[in-house]
Chains A and B, each alone.
Chain A
Amino acid sequence: MGTMIFTSGLWIALSLGAVAQTPGPDEPIANDDLHNEEAMYRIVDLKHPDDITLEVSGLTWLPDDRLMAATRRGEVYIVENALSPDGSDVVFKRFAHGLQEPLGLLVKDGWIYFAQRGELSRMRDTNGDDRVDEIETICDTWRVSGNYHEYNFGPRLDPDGNFWITTNKPFGGEPFGRVDWRGWALRITPDGEMIPTACGLRSPAGLAASPWGEMFYTDNQGEWCGASKLSHLEPGDFHGHPWGLPSAKREEWKYPYPGDPVSGRPMPDVHKEIPSFKLPAVWFPYDKMGKSPSGMVWDQTGGRFGPFEGQLFVGDQHHSSIMRVFLERVNGHWQGACFPFRYGFQSGVLRMAWSPDAKLFVGMTNRGWGSRGNSTEGLQRLDWTGRTPFEIREMRVTRDGFRLVFTRPVDAESARELSGYRLESYTYLLHSTYGSPEVEKQTLSVSEARVSRDGLSVELVVPDRRRGYVHELHAMAIRSEDALPLLHTAAYYTLIELPE
Chain B
Amino acid sequence: MVATATGFLWVLLLGAVPGSDETPSLYEVIPRGEALLAERGCLSCHSAPPVAIERLSPNPAPRLADVGARLTPQYLRHYLEAPHTIRPGARMPDLLGGLEDTKRRAAVEDLVQFLASLGGPIDHDPSAGGLEELESGRRLFHESGCIACHAPIEPVEALERPYGHYSDAELNAFFEEEDEGLFEIPAIPGAWVPTDIRLADLAERTSVDALSAFLRDPESVRPGGRMPSLSLTEEEAKDLAFYLLRQQAKKSEAPGIGYEYFEAQNESPVPSVEGLSPSRTGRVDDLGSLPEHRPDQFVFRFRASLKIPADGRYRFFTTSDDGSRLWIDDQLVVQNDGTHPMQERSGQIELTAGSHRLTVICFEAGGGEGLSVSWEGPGLEKQVIDESVTTTASLAFQVPTDGSFQPDPERAARGRARFFALGCASCHDDVRRGEETPARQAGPALANLDPRRGCLAVNPPGELPQYFFADAERKALRDAVAEASSWTEPLPAEEQVTRTLARHQCLACHRRDELGGPRDDRREYFVIRGDAELGDEGRIPPHLDDVGTKLWQRTLEAVLLDEERVRPYMAARMPQYGKQHVAPLAALLTKVDHDPADDVEPEFTPEAVQIGRQLVGTEDGLGCINCHTLAGFDSLGVPAVDLATMTERIRPGWFHRLMADPMTVNMTTRMPKFWLEGKSPVDVLGGDPDAQIDAMWSYLSLGKSMPLPKGLVIPEAEYELEVIDEPIMIGVFMAGVSPRTLVVGFPESLHYAFDMQSSRLAKAWRGRFFNAQGTWHARAGALEAPPSEDRIDLPLGAPFAELRNEEQPWPDEPADVLGYRVLGRRYDDERRPAFRYRYQGATIEEKPYPKLERRGSWLVRSFELSADREPSGLYFRAATGQKLRSVAPGAWLVDDTILVQVPVAADGSGGGVWRANGDGQEDLVVPIQWTKAEGGGVVATFEVEMTW
The answer, yes or no, to whether B857 is at the interface (CB within 8 Å) is no
Whether B524 lies near A74 (C-beta < 8 A) is no
Q: Which of A136, A147, A371 touches B823 (beta carbons < 8 Å)?
A: A136
Residues from chain B with a CB closer than 8 A to the CB of A100 are 731-732, 740, 742
The answer, yes or no, to whether B627 is at the interface (CB within 8 Å) is yes
Residues from chain B with a CB closer than 8 A to the CB of A173 are 264-265, 531
The answer, yes or no, to whether A88 is at the interface (CB within 8 Å) is no
The answer, yes or no, to whether B854 is at the interface (CB within 8 Å) is no
* Given A177-B272, A222-B535, A263-B524: A366 touches B731 (CB 8 Å cut-off): no
Q: Which of B284-292, B580-588, B776-784, B895-903 contacts A (4 or more CB under 8 A)?
A: B776-784
Considering the complex, give the chain B residue whose CB is closest to the CB of A144: B739
Whether B676 lies near A372 (C-beta < 8 A) is yes
User: Smallest distance from the beta carbon of B744 to chain A beta carbons, Å?
Assistant: 8
User: How far does the alpha carbon of A371 sit from the alpha carbon of B636 in the complex, in Å?
Assistant: 12
The answer, yes or no, to whether A158 is at the interface (CB within 8 Å) is no
Question: In the complex, which residues 24-66 of chain B have their Cβ closer than 8 Å to any Cβ of chain A?
Answer: none
Residues from chain A with a CB closer than 8 A to the CB of B623 are 366, 370-371, 374, 376
Whether B776 lies near A73 (C-beta < 8 A) is yes
User: How far does the alpha carbon of A105 sit from the alpha carbon of B826 in the complex, in Å?
Assistant: 19
Q: Which of B331-339, B434-442, B614-622 contacts A (4 or more CB under 8 A)?
A: B614-622
The answer, yes or no, to whether B825 is at the interface (CB within 8 Å) is yes
The answer, yes or no, to whether A62 is at the interface (CB within 8 Å) is no
* Given A118-B757, A146-B267: A435 touches B535 (CB 8 Å cut-off): yes
The answer, yes or no, to whether A45 is at the interface (CB within 8 Å) is no
17 of the cross-chain contacts (CB-CB < 8 Å) are A100-B731, A135-B824, A137-B822, A140-B740, A140-B822, A144-B739, A146-B733, A171-B533, A173-B264, A173-B531, A344-B681, A366-B626, A368-B636, A370-B623, A370-B637, A374-B681, A435-B668
The answer, yes or no, to whether A212 is at the interface (CB within 8 Å) is no
Most B C-beta atoms less than 10 A away, residue of A4, A287, A319, A432: A287
* Given A144-B739, A372-B674: A98 touches B267 (CB 8 Å cut-off): no
Residues from chain A with a CB closer than 8 A to the CB of B740 are 100, 117-119, 140, 144
Whether A136 lies near B824 (C-beta < 8 A) is yes
Residues from chain A with a CB closer than 8 A to the CB of B274 are 177
Question: In the complex, which residues 648-676 of chain B have their Cβ closer than 8 Å to any Cβ of chain A?
Answer: 663, 667-668, 670, 672-674, 676
The answer, yes or no, to whether B23 is at the interface (CB within 8 Å) is no
User: Smallest distance from the beta carbon of A487 to chain B beta carbons, Å?
Assistant: 12
Q: Which of A175, A374, A432 touches B622 (beta carbons < 8 Å)?
A: A374
Whether B783 lies near A318 (C-beta < 8 A) is no
Q: Which of B264, B530, B620, B826 touches A133 (beta carbons < 8 Å)?
A: B826
The answer, yes or no, to whether A47 is at the interface (CB within 8 Å) is no
* Given A117-B731, A133-B827, A175-B267: A148 touches B780 (CB 8 Å cut-off): yes
| A148-175 near B? 1/0 per residue, CB < 8 Å | 1100000000000000000000011101
The answer, yes or no, to whether A433 is at the interface (CB within 8 Å) is yes
Residues from chain B with a CB closer than 8 A to the CB of A177 are 267, 271-272, 274
Considering the complex, give the chain B residue whose CB is closest to the CB of A345: B681
The answer, yes or no, to whether B738 is at the interface (CB within 8 Å) is yes
* Given A98-B731, A100-B731, A432-B524: A374 touches B670 (CB 8 Å cut-off): no
Residues from chain A with a CB closer than 8 A to the CB of B778 are 367-368
The answer, yes or no, to whether A324 is at the interface (CB within 8 Å) is no
| A431-455 near B? 1/0 per residue, CB < 8 Å | 0111101000000000000000000
| B357-369 near A? 1/0 per residue, CB < 8 Å | 0000000000000
User: How far does the alpha carbon of A372 sit from the alpha carbon of B264 in the complex, in Å?
Assistant: 35
The answer, yes or no, to whether A121 is at the interface (CB within 8 Å) is yes
User: How far does the alpha carbon of A333 sit from the alpha carbon of B460 in the complex, in Å?
Assistant: 70
Besides A98-B744, A175-B739, 20 other CB < 8 A contacts? A97-B729, A134-B824, A137-B822, A137-B823, A143-B757, A144-B740, A175-B271, A175-B783, A176-B733, A176-B739, A287-B663, A291-B672, A366-B626, A369-B637, A370-B637, A370-B672, A374-B621, A376-B618, A432-B524, A435-B535
Interface footprint category on B: 35 or more
Main secondary structure of the interface of B (DSSP, over half): loop
Residue ranges of B at the interface with A (Cβ–Cβ < 8 Å): 264-267, 271-272, 274-275, 520, 523-524, 530-531, 533, 535-536, 618, 620-623, 626-627, 636-637, 663, 667-668, 670, 672-674, 676, 679, 681-682, 711, 728-733, 735, 738-740, 742, 744, 756-757, 772, 776, 778-781, 783, 822-827, 831, 833
Whether A99 lies near B711 (C-beta < 8 A) is no
The answer, yes or no, to whether A132 is at the interface (CB within 8 Å) is yes
* Given A100-B731, A146-B739: A176 touches B267 (CB 8 Å cut-off): yes
User: How far does the alpha carbon of A344 sit from the alpha carbon of B680 in the complex, in Å?
Assistant: 10
Most B C-beta atoms less than 10 A away, residue of A131, A137, A143, A319: A137
The answer, yes or no, to whether A385 is at the interface (CB within 8 Å) is no
Considering the complex, give the chain A residue whose CB is closest to the CB of B618: A376
Whether A374 lies near B682 (C-beta < 8 A) is yes
The answer, yes or no, to whether A200 is at the interface (CB within 8 Å) is no
Residues from chain A with a CB closer than 8 A to the CB of B744 are 98
Most A C-beta atoms less than 10 A away, residue of B272, B637, B742, B825: B825
The 10 closest A-B pairs by CB, nearest first: A148-B781, A172-B531, A98-B729, A100-B731, A370-B626, A434-B535, A175-B265, A368-B779, A118-B740, A136-B824
